[in-house]
Every structure is written in structure tokens, then in C-alpha cells.
């Protein structure tokens, strides 16, 4: 079954690409070892970058989660220096040190590569400093954002060189970034599902425990109070609908810009991106699942 | 994770080793064994636990072991249900169980599950239900013969599936039972069935959230509880899960509880969904932390 599930997922992503990702097998005879190319999302410090990672699936996928290891060096609080990615969606819920994360952001067999990739994009935008894998990067992100961004930019440039050598074209504008999936959307009707899934997950990052990093951080956490408030609402309101929740998540700050103006730009770019992708108005209530 | 010296890769490798060890030492569902085996197993025990097992052997002559991997309730329930319907179910019960299975995906989608993420689990579940209820195997949604899945065009004008004349012949039942056992011993497919039973349980919790909220502790909402305890594999079940699943399928379940408390020398039987109409009663043996399948004398 895991082979069957993986084969159909792989075909699915090649037919309906996930924005910002290239998906392929490392070796055509092994379905359990994937290579993904991640294009840095526009208007973030990772924009223009091309980051390669390996996804390893266990034999009992999807009952156990895959693991992800970056092959391109990437300075980020949630990526170990060895390249392993530490993100809540790759862990089943349980009483472990990654507490404070909501169970719906954890692994369960209805998650899939698409939901993982969307969480990865969210994590690039908004590191989770409450459970860092790279403590140095995490501290730098909080204390010295300028230096943090300088390191990331250097890595982006290095990755561009590799992309050039490999003949990979990196999308730079939002238009290009979303082009492949928009083309698909025009072609097929079946995309309704995918767009819904996108809407459901793009902002559904693993970082709802914002409250953990107030110190030295207030400069960037513009709406920290607001989002904390909304989280509480979301917890209390058993049947709050997805629209409200999506707004909650959209209202959350994208942290990587240090002044208000670029922050607004980033956020509007993200909203723009979302509206371009989800022409569908279907509301999915799985968010409170 | 930050302070841990172990990476995800180490943890996953370790978990796989543990799973492999358990898999090598016990079958997912065993052949039937006489219940007297249980008395031998606990012959050193002189306490009330053994008395209760004696009580069990007087009423139930055989049992099947089910692997203790945190999914034993769902697995035991699933296999026992299929056997009950196949051998002892009425035509009406069989039809109800099948139609309910076919309709269940739409109910889960209405509860907020994304259709394509539950498709594989649903397919496996309907497949085993069809086998046990005398319906033909539903047509596959994808053709995997070339290694690359190709959606199969369904013929819109095709007749709805017809149930075989009920009751099935003894030969037909024996064949179907051995197919079911093979499926339940084939880990990936068996896992899909187990997971779908978890989804049905979670779906019932969510549909009846107001009722179940009172049973849920730690200040969790019903949805949070499902995400943490039901919608993941290997999370053990409590009585409230049995209440939910037996009600979701309208299947009566009898659990025979044994433990070493000496307030009584009788095993305690609890019936869930006693008047359930979708199948004959499914009997399970509970020993602390574990469920197996029981067969009455």
C-alpha cells in the first residue's frame, strides 16, 4: 500500500505541481526516496533561491511520517546543521518536547507530501524559534536579523549558481511562481480539490505558539497580541468555520521583514498569492479538526 | 527536539526496528486457539485474574490473538465484525453494513476530511466489507498495472452492485473468510482498514461532539481529542472509543473484562450498542491494555 500511495502521490504532483516545488525520484526504481527542489518564496529573504532536499519515506507510510533532509546548505532555526528539517507536521502528536504545537499540525495518515510542502513554505517564512534545531541560527534570527539575512542571501546566491549549472530556471516573480499550477487549473476541473487543500494548509503553519518568543522580538512581532487572542478564540470555538480561521492565520505577521512597510508588502504578496491560487471559495472545516 | 541528541532519522530507524521486532514475534491476527491456552499462560497466577479467565473459558471456547501494537481494538473489532456478518449475519444486516460503508466517505467529507486524503483507506474498507457481505468487489478507482496509477473510467450506466443470494454457501463463506484473513495479515491493507475504522470513530465523535465532550478530559475539544487519540495509528482506545465506533456502525459489541481486582471472580461483560442492527454481536476479550477476539461456545 505504501508503494501504491506513493506512486499515486508522485503522479499527482507531476500532474498538479505544488507551487514552488519540483518533485522527482532520486532513483526511478525506488519510490521511497524523493528529491524535492524548493524555490524560495517571492518577497522573502529566500526569494530566488533553489534548495534541494531528500524526502525519505518509511515502509509503513502514510501511517508513519517521512523525514526530510536538505542537501543545500540552509541557515534556518528549524533546520539542523546536518540538513535535517525539524517541523511539527513530521511528528505524530504525543507527549514530547514539541509541546505547545496543536495536534492538527502533527503527522497523521491523512497528511501527505503536499501538506508537508506547504508547511515547509510556511516555515521558511516564519521560523519556529520555540523549538529550534539550529540554536545559533535561532539566536541570530532573534538578536541579529541583519546578519541572519546576510547569511541567507549568500546561500541563496550559492544556490542560484548550482541551479544555473543544472539548467534549472528559478521563478522570481509571484506570477512565475504560481504559473505552473495556474496553467493546470485552466486545464482541469479537478483542481478544485487542490486549491481547497492549498487554502487549507498554506497558512496552516506549525507556529501557533508565538507567545514563546516575546523577548527581544517585539520589533518584528507586530500583531503578536492579536494573533494570540485569535488563537484562544479558535481553541474555544469548537465550530468556528474555516474562513475565520484562515483570516486568523493570514493576520499573523510574516516575521522576516524588519520594518512595517516591507512587512505589509510581504503580507499583501502572500494574500495575493493565495487569491491567485484559490479561485475556489469552498470552505473546508478541517482546520479545527 | 533541540536538546535531544537524537535526530528524526535515528528516531524513525529505532521505531522501525521496534515495529519489526513486534511483527516478527506475533501475527496481526492469529488462527483460532482454545481458550484453555489462556489458563496455561497464566498458570502461575493464583489471583482473581485466573478465576476470571476460568469464567471466560466456561462461556467462550476459542479466541484469536491480535497483535498488541496500539491498534488491537480496531483490528480485533474489524476482523470479528466481518466474520460475524459473513457466518451469522442476516441478509438485511449484510446489506445495511455494505450500504453504510459505501455512504461513509461522504459523511466523513461532510465532517471536514479532504476526500482524496481518505480515499485509499475507504477503498480498502469497502473491499473487505464487500467480501463479507456478499457484494462484488467495487471497481478500483485507479489501475496500477503499469506501476503508474491511471484513473479508471467508471461506466455511468453500469448496474448497481448485486448481492449474492444470501446466506452464502458454506464453500463461498470459507473462501471469503480465508481471503479476509489473508487481507488482515497483509500489513498495508490491514492498516488501511484499521485506519478507516479510526476515521469512522473520529467522525462519530465529531458528529456527536456535544454528547462526547463530557467524556473528554484535559480540557481538550472533541476535535483535538480526535487529532491526538483517534486519527493517529497506535494510540490505544478507551471505552469511549468503543461507544463511538459501535454506535457509528450500529454494531453490538460485547467486551469481556478480566483483571486481577478481587472484588469478583467473574469476568465483567459490558455490552455496547446492545440493540445494534447492522451485525450480530462482536465479542472481544479484554486483558489490561489489550483486546483479542472471543468466540462463544
DSSP summary character for residue A32? T
Mutation for A interface: B188, B200, B221, most A CBs within 10 A:
B188
Of B267, B286, B290, B255, the residue nearest B26 (C-alpha): B290
For residue B192, list chain A residues with Cβ-Cβ distance below 8 A.
1
Active site residues of A: 86
CATH code where residue B247 lies: 1.20.1300.20
Q: Best residue in A4, A67, A239 to probe B by mutation, most B CBs within 10 Å?
A: A4
Helix (H) or strand (E) holding B253: strand B253-257
pLDDT digits (tens, 9 = 90+) for A215-242: 333 333 333 333 333 333 444 444 444 4
CB contact under 8 A, A111 and B147: no
The vertex-B93 CA angle with B271 and B251, nearest 5°, equals 25
- On average, the pLDDT of chain B sits at 90
Residue B8 inside a domain? The answer is no
User: Could you report the predicted ipTM of this complex, rounded to two decimals?
Assistant: 0.81
Q: Which residues of B are catalytic?
A: 69, 72, 290
Strands B282-287 and B253-257: parallel
pLDDT score recorded for residue B155: 76
B119-124 long-range contacts, CB within 8 A, separation 24+: B120/A1, B120/A4, B120/A5, B120/A8, B120/B192, B121/A109, B121/B192, B121/B193, B121/B195, B121/B196, B121/B199, B122/B196, B123/B192, B124/A1, B124/B189, B124/B192, B124/B193, B124/B196
**Cβ-based contacts of A234 with chain B (< 8 Å):** none
Residue B5 lies in a domain: no
Domain membership flag for residue B245:
yes
**A204 and A111 in contact (C-beta within 8 Å)?**
no
Residue B295 lies in a domain: no
pLDDT of residue B138: 80
Q: Longest C-alpha distance within chain B, in Å?
A: 66
Would the CB atoms of A1 and B144 count as touching at under 8 Å?
no
Cell numbers at residue A35, please? 528529491
**Cβ atoms of residues B257 and B269 within 8 Å:** yes
H-type helices in A73-144, by residue range? 113-125, 135-143
Asked whether residue A269 carries a pLDDT value surpassing 80, the answer given is no
Q: Which of A6, A7, A8, A107 to mutate to test the interface with B (most CBs of B within 10 A)?
A: A8
Which SS3 state, helix, strand or coil, does residue B143 take? strand
How many domains does one find in chain B?
A: 1
User: How many beta-carbon pairs below 8 A join chains A and B?
Assistant: 121
Whether residue B178 lies inside any domain: the answer is yes
What CA–CA distance (Å, rounded) separates A38 from B74? 39
* Residue B22 belongs to a domain: no
Question: A92, B19: Cβ pair inside 8 Å?
Answer: no
Average pLDDT over residues B64-86: 97
> Could you tell me if A199 and A284 are in contact, meaning their C-beta atoms sit under 8 angstroms apart?
yes
pLDDT at A137 over 90: yes
pLDDT digits (tens, 9 = 90+) for B241-270: 999 999 999 999 999 999 888 888 899 999
Better-predicted residue by pLDDT, A106 or B61: B61
On whether residue B86 sits in a domain, the answer given is yes
CA distance B60 to B58: 6
- How do residues A179-196 score in pLDDT, each as one tens digit? 766 665 565 544 444 444
Query: What mean pLDDT do residues A141-149 have?
Result: 95
Q: What is the mean pLDDT of chain A?
A: 70
Q: Check which CATH number belongs to the domain holding A190 and give it.
A: 3.10.110.10
Taking the mean position of all CA atoms in its chain, how far away is CA B114?
A: 22
Over pLDDT 70: what percentage of chain B?
Answer: 93
Q: Do A104 and B227 touch (CB under 8 A)?
A: yes
B216 vs A199 pLDDT, higher one:
B216
- For residue B226, list chain A residues with Cβ-Cβ distance below 8 A: 289
Q: Is residue B281 part of a domain?
A: no
Give me the number of domains chain A comprises. Answer: 1
Range of the domain at B196: 69-138+164-254
Domain ranges, residue A98: 2-288
Amino acid at each position: 500500500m505504501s508503494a501504491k500511495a506513493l506512486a499515486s502521490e508522485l503522479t499527482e504532483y507531476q500532474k498538479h505541481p505544488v507551487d514552488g516545488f519540483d518533485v522527482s525520484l532520486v532513483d526511478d526504481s525506488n519510490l521511497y526516496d524523493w528529491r524535492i527542489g524548493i524555490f524560495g518564496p517571492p518577497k522573502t529573504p529566500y526569494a530566488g533561491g533553489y534548495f534541494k532536499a531528500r524526502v525519505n519515506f518509511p515502509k509503513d507510510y502514510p501511517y508513519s511520517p517521512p523525514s526530510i533532509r536538505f542537501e543545500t546548505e540552509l541557515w534556518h532555526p528549524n533546520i539542523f546543521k546536518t540538513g535535517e528539517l525539524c517541523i511539527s507536521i513530521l511528528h505524530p502528536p504525543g507527549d514530547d518536547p514539541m509541546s505547545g504545537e496543536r495536534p492538527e499540525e502533527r503527522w497523521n495518515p491523512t497528511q501527505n507530501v503536499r501538506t508537508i510542502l506547504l508547511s515547509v513554505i510556511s516555515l521558511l517564512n516564519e521560523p519556529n524559534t520555540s523549538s529550534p534545531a539550529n540554536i545559533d541560527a535561532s539566536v541570530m534570527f532573534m538578536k541579529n536579523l541583519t546578519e541572519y539575512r546576510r547569511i541567507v542571501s549568500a546561500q541563496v546566491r550559492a544556490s542560484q549558481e548550482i541551479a544555473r549549472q543544472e539548467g534549472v530556471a528559478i521563478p522570481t516573480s509571484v506570477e512565475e511562481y504560481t504559473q505552473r499550477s495556474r496553467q493546470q487549473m485552466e486545464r482541469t476541473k479537478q483542481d478544485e480539490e487542490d486549491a481547497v487543500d492549498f487554502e487549507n494548509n498554506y497558512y496552516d503553519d506549525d507556529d501557533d505558539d508565538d507567545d514563546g518568543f516575546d523577548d527581544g522580538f517585539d520589533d518584528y512581532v507586530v500583531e503578536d497580541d492579536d494573533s494570540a487572542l485569535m488563537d484562544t478564540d479558535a481553541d474555544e470555538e469548537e465550530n468556528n468555520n474555516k474562513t475565520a480561521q484562515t483570516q486568523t492565520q493570514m493576520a499573523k505577521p510574516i516575521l522576516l521583514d524588519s520594518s512595517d512597510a516591507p512587512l505589509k508588502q510581504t503580507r499583501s504578496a502572500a494574500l495575493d498569492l493565495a487569491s491567485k491560487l484559490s479561485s475556489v471559495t469552498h470552505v473546508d472545516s478541517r482546520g479545527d479538526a | 527536539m533541540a536538546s535531544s541528541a537524537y535526530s528524526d532519522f535515528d528516531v524513525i530507524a529505532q521505531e522501525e526496528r521496534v515495529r519489526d521486532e513486534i511483527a516478527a514475534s506475533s501475527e496481526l491476527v492469529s488462527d483460532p486457539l482454545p481458550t484453555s491456552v489462556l489458563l496455561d499462560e497464566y498458570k502461575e497466577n493464583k489471583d482473581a485474574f485466573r478465576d476470571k479467565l476460568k469464567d471466560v473459558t466456561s462461556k467462550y471456547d476459542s479466541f484469536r490473538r491480535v497483535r498488541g501494537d496500539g491498534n488491537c481494538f480496531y483490528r480485533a473489532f474489524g476482523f470479528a465484525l466481518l466474520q460475524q456478518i459473513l457466518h451469522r449475519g442476516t441478509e438485511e444486516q449484510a446489506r445495511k453494513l455494505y450500504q453504510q460503508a459505501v455512504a461513509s466517505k461522504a459523511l466523513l467529507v461532510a465532517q471536514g476530511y479532504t476526500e482524496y486524503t481518505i480515499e485509499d483507506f475507504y477503498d480498502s474498507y469497502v473491499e473487505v466489507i464487500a467480501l463479507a457481505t456478499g457484494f462484488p468487489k467495487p471497481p478500483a478507482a485507479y489501475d496500477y498495472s503499469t506501476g503508474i496509477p491511471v484513473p479508471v473510467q467508471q461506466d455511468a450506466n453500469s448496474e448497481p452492485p448485486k448481492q449474492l443470494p444470501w446466506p452464502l454457501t458454506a464453500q463461498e463463506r470459507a473462501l471469503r473468510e480465508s481471503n479476509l484473513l489473508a487481507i488482515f495479515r497483509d500489513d498495508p491493507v490491514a492498516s488501511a482498514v484499521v485506519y478507516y475504522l479510526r476515521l469512522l470513530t473520529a467522525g462519530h465523535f465529531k458528529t456527536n461532539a456535544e454528547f462526547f465532550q463530557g467524556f473528554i478530559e484535559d480540557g481538550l475539544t472533541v476535535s483535538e481529542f480526535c487529532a491526538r487519540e483517534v486519527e493517529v495509528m497506535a494510540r490505544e482506545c478507551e471505552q469511549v472509543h468503543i461507544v463511538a465506533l459501535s454506535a457509528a456502525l450500529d454494531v453490538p459489541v460485547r467486551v469481556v473484562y478480566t483483571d486481577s481486582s478481587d472484588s469478583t471472580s467473574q469476568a465483567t461483560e459490558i455490552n455496547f450498542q446492545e440493540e445494534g442492527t447492522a451485525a450480530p454481536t462482536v465479542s472481544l476479550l479484554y486483558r489490561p491494555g489489550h483486546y483479542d477476539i472471543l468466540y462463544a461456545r
